[in-house]
Protein backbone atom coordinates (compact mmCIF):
# COMPACT_ATOMS: atom_id res chain seq x y z
CA UNK A 1 0.00 0.00 0.00
CA UNK A 2 1.54 3.29 -1.18
CA UNK A 3 0.88 5.84 1.58
CA UNK A 4 1.72 8.78 -0.68
CA UNK A 5 -0.75 7.61 -3.32
CA UNK A 6 -3.43 7.07 -0.68
CA UNK A 7 -2.97 10.57 0.73
CA UNK A 8 -2.96 12.13 -2.73
CA UNK A 9 -6.13 10.26 -3.71
CA UNK A 10 -7.83 11.22 -0.45
CA UNK A 11 -6.97 14.90 -0.93
CA UNK A 12 -8.27 14.72 -4.50
CA UNK A 13 -11.64 13.27 -3.48
CA UNK A 14 -11.88 15.56 -0.43
CA UNK A 15 -11.38 18.66 -2.57
CA UNK A 16 -13.91 17.47 -5.16
CA UNK A 17 -16.57 16.59 -2.57
CA UNK A 18 -15.74 19.77 -0.61
CA UNK A 19 -17.46 18.98 2.72
CA UNK A 20 -16.49 22.41 4.06
CA UNK A 21 -18.34 24.11 1.21
CA UNK A 22 -21.31 21.73 1.51
CA UNK A 23 -21.80 22.37 5.24
CA UNK A 24 -23.63 25.72 4.85
CA UNK A 25 -25.90 24.14 2.22
CA UNK A 26 -26.61 21.22 4.57
CA UNK A 27 -27.41 23.73 7.30
CA UNK A 28 -29.91 25.56 5.08
CA UNK A 29 -31.59 22.37 3.89
CA UNK A 30 -32.04 21.05 7.45
CA UNK A 31 -32.77 24.23 9.40
CA UNK A 32 -36.39 23.22 10.02
CA UNK A 33 -35.43 19.82 11.43
CA UNK A 34 -34.81 18.80 14.99
CA UNK A 35 -31.34 17.84 16.21
CA UNK A 36 -32.06 14.12 15.91
CA UNK A 37 -33.56 14.52 12.43
CA UNK A 38 -30.55 16.57 11.31
CA UNK A 39 -28.14 13.91 12.52
CA UNK A 40 -30.24 11.23 10.81
CA UNK A 41 -30.12 13.16 7.53
CA UNK A 42 -26.35 13.64 7.85
CA UNK A 43 -25.75 9.97 8.57
CA UNK A 44 -28.10 8.76 5.84
CA UNK A 45 -26.68 11.10 3.20
CA UNK A 46 -23.05 10.05 3.73
CA UNK A 47 -23.98 6.35 3.84
CA UNK A 48 -25.90 6.60 0.55
CA UNK A 49 -23.13 8.67 -1.05
CA UNK A 50 -20.53 6.14 0.15
CA UNK A 51 -22.50 3.28 -1.40
CA UNK A 52 -22.83 5.13 -4.71
CA UNK A 53 -19.12 6.00 -4.87
CA UNK A 54 -18.13 2.44 -3.95
CA UNK A 55 -20.43 1.13 -6.68
CA UNK A 56 -18.77 3.38 -9.26
CA UNK A 57 -15.33 2.51 -7.91
CA UNK A 58 -16.01 -1.13 -8.82
CA UNK A 59 -18.36 -0.94 -11.80
CA UNK A 60 -18.21 2.73 -12.88
CA UNK A 61 -17.21 2.52 -16.50
CA UNK A 62 -19.22 -0.66 -17.06
CA UNK A 63 -22.40 0.93 -15.66
CA UNK A 64 -22.17 4.11 -17.73
CA UNK A 65 -21.30 2.22 -20.91
CA UNK A 66 -24.06 -0.35 -20.40
CA UNK A 67 -26.79 2.23 -19.80
CA UNK A 68 -25.41 4.52 -22.48
CA UNK A 69 -25.04 7.55 -20.21
CA UNK A 70 -22.11 9.89 -20.66
CA UNK A 71 -20.60 11.98 -17.87
CA UNK A 72 -21.66 15.23 -19.63
CA UNK A 73 -25.28 14.01 -19.63
CA UNK A 74 -25.00 13.06 -15.96
CA UNK A 75 -23.60 16.52 -15.19
CA UNK A 76 -26.43 18.33 -17.01
CA UNK A 77 -29.14 16.24 -15.35
CA UNK A 78 -27.61 16.79 -11.91
CA UNK A 79 -27.39 20.52 -12.57
CA UNK A 80 -31.06 20.78 -13.53
CA UNK A 81 -32.21 18.92 -10.42
CA UNK A 82 -29.91 21.02 -8.25
CA UNK A 83 -31.29 24.22 -9.79
CA UNK A 84 -34.83 23.23 -8.78
CA UNK A 85 -33.66 22.82 -5.18
CA UNK A 86 -31.97 26.23 -5.34
CA UNK A 87 -35.29 27.81 -6.39
CA UNK A 88 -36.99 26.27 -3.37
CA UNK A 89 -34.31 27.72 -1.11
CA UNK A 90 -34.61 31.16 -2.72
CA UNK A 91 -38.38 31.36 -2.34
CA UNK A 92 -38.56 29.48 0.99
CA UNK A 93 -40.83 26.79 -0.47
CA UNK A 94 -39.34 24.15 1.81
CA UNK A 95 -40.10 26.24 4.89
CA UNK A 96 -43.68 26.89 3.76
CA UNK A 97 -44.24 23.20 3.11
CA UNK A 98 -42.91 22.27 6.54
CA UNK A 99 -45.16 24.83 8.24
CA UNK A 100 -48.18 23.56 6.29
CA UNK A 101 -47.53 20.11 7.67
CA UNK A 102 -47.57 21.42 11.21
CA UNK A 103 -43.89 20.65 11.80
CA UNK A 104 -44.57 16.92 11.77
CA UNK A 105 -41.81 14.34 11.80
CA UNK A 106 -39.53 14.26 8.78
CA UNK A 107 -41.56 13.08 5.82
CA UNK A 108 -39.92 10.84 3.25
CA UNK A 109 -40.59 13.23 0.34
CA UNK A 110 -39.07 16.13 2.30
CA UNK A 111 -35.99 14.18 3.29
CA UNK A 112 -32.97 15.90 1.68
CA UNK A 113 -30.58 13.05 2.51
CA UNK A 114 -30.96 11.31 -0.87
CA UNK A 115 -31.57 14.39 -3.02
CA UNK A 116 -29.89 16.80 -3.13
CA UNK A 117 -27.33 15.86 -0.44
CA UNK A 118 -26.22 12.35 -1.39
CA UNK A 119 -26.90 13.04 -5.09
CA UNK A 120 -25.72 15.27 -6.67
CA UNK A 121 -23.98 17.32 -3.95
CA UNK A 122 -21.79 14.66 -2.29
CA UNK A 123 -21.68 11.97 -4.97
CA UNK A 124 -22.12 14.23 -7.96
CA UNK A 125 -20.60 14.16 -11.44
CA UNK A 126 -17.25 15.46 -10.18
CA UNK A 127 -16.80 12.93 -7.39
CA UNK A 128 -18.06 10.04 -9.52
CA UNK A 129 -15.71 10.99 -12.35
CA UNK A 130 -12.86 11.28 -9.84
CA UNK A 131 -13.58 7.82 -8.43
CA UNK A 132 -13.66 6.32 -11.92
CA UNK A 133 -10.30 7.95 -12.69
CA UNK A 134 -8.81 6.85 -9.36
CA UNK A 135 -9.98 3.28 -10.02
CA UNK A 136 -7.61 3.25 -12.99
CA UNK A 137 -4.73 3.98 -10.60
CA UNK A 138 -5.85 1.74 -7.71
CA UNK A 139 -6.23 -1.45 -9.71
CA UNK A 140 -7.13 -4.99 -8.68
CA UNK A 141 -8.94 -6.19 -5.56
CA UNK A 142 -6.43 -4.46 -3.32
CA UNK A 143 -7.03 -1.27 -5.27
CA UNK A 144 -10.76 -1.52 -4.52
CA UNK A 145 -9.90 -1.86 -0.83
CA UNK A 146 -7.74 1.28 -1.04
CA UNK A 147 -10.57 3.18 -2.75
CA UNK A 148 -12.96 2.02 -0.02
CA UNK A 149 -10.62 3.48 2.63
CA UNK A 150 -10.39 6.77 0.72
CA UNK A 151 -14.16 7.02 0.29
CA UNK A 152 -14.90 6.15 3.94
CA UNK A 153 -12.35 8.69 5.20
CA UNK A 154 -13.86 11.43 3.01
CA UNK A 155 -17.41 10.56 4.06
CA UNK A 156 -16.42 10.53 7.74
CA UNK A 157 -15.00 14.04 7.36
CA UNK A 158 -18.21 15.11 5.61
CA UNK A 159 -20.35 13.69 8.41
CA UNK A 160 -18.29 15.50 11.05
CA UNK A 161 -18.71 18.82 9.24
CA UNK A 162 -22.46 18.25 8.85
CA UNK A 163 -22.83 17.30 12.52
CA UNK A 164 -21.20 20.56 13.58
CA UNK A 165 -24.25 22.48 12.29
CA UNK A 166 -26.27 21.12 15.22
CA UNK A 167 -24.39 23.42 17.56
CA UNK A 168 -24.56 26.42 15.23
CA UNK A 169 -28.35 26.21 15.04
CA UNK A 170 -28.69 27.02 18.76
CA UNK A 171 -27.06 30.44 18.41
CA UNK A 172 -28.50 31.79 15.13
CA UNK A 173 -31.72 33.83 14.83
CA UNK A 174 -34.48 32.86 12.35
CA UNK A 175 -33.98 36.13 10.42
CA UNK A 176 -30.28 35.47 9.98
CA UNK A 177 -31.03 31.92 8.85
CA UNK A 178 -33.56 33.18 6.27
CA UNK A 179 -31.04 35.63 4.84
CA UNK A 180 -28.28 33.01 4.68
CA UNK A 181 -30.67 30.49 3.10
CA UNK A 182 -31.56 32.86 0.27
CA UNK A 183 -27.92 33.76 -0.34
CA UNK A 184 -26.95 30.10 -0.39
CA UNK A 185 -29.87 29.43 -2.72
CA UNK A 186 -28.32 31.88 -5.18
CA UNK A 187 -24.92 30.21 -4.82
CA UNK A 188 -26.50 26.79 -5.26
CA UNK A 189 -28.24 28.01 -8.42
CA UNK A 190 -24.86 29.21 -9.71
CA UNK A 191 -23.32 25.83 -8.87
CA UNK A 192 -26.15 24.06 -10.71
CA UNK A 193 -25.61 26.31 -13.72
CA UNK A 194 -21.90 25.46 -13.62
CA UNK A 195 -22.75 21.74 -13.68
CA UNK A 196 -24.92 22.31 -16.76
CA UNK A 197 -22.31 24.46 -18.50
CA UNK A 198 -19.57 21.90 -17.78
CA UNK A 199 -21.75 19.19 -19.25
CA UNK A 200 -22.45 21.23 -22.38
CA UNK A 201 -18.77 22.09 -22.71
CA UNK A 202 -17.84 18.42 -22.44
CA UNK A 203 -20.40 17.54 -25.12
CA UNK A 204 -18.89 20.16 -27.42
CA UNK A 205 -15.46 18.72 -26.69
CA UNK A 206 -16.68 15.28 -27.69
Q: What is the 3-state secondary structure (H, E, C) of 53-99?
A: HHHHHHHHHHHHHHHCCCHHHHHHHHHHHHHHHHHHHHCCHHHHHHH
Question: Exposed, middle or buried by CB within 10 Å (0-12, 13-18, 19+), for 178?
Answer: middle
Categorize the per-residue pLDDT at 153 as very low, low, confident or very high, splitting at 50, 70 and 90: very high
- From the list 120, 117, 148, 127, the residue with the least C-alpha distance to 46 is 117
Assessment of whether the complete model's pTM goes beyond 0.85: no
- From the list 42, 15, 4, 12, the residue with the least C-alpha distance to 167 is 42
Question: What beta strand segments (E) does the chain contain?
Answer: none
Q: What is the pLDDT of residue 100?
A: 52
- 103 backbone dihedrals φ, ψ, rounded to 5°: 55, 45
Q: What is the mean pLDDT of the chain?
A: 83
pLDDT in tens, 28-72: 888 878 888 999 999 999 999 999 999 999 988 788 778 888 878
pLDDT in tens, 168-185: 766 766 777 778 778 878
Average pLDDT for 136-164 = 92
Amino acid sequence: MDATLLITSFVTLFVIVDPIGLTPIFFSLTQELSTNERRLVARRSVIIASAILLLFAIFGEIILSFIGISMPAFSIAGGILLFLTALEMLFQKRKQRREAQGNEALASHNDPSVFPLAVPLISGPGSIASIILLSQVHTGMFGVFELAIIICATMLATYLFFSATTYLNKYLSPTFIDVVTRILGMLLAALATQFIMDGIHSFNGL
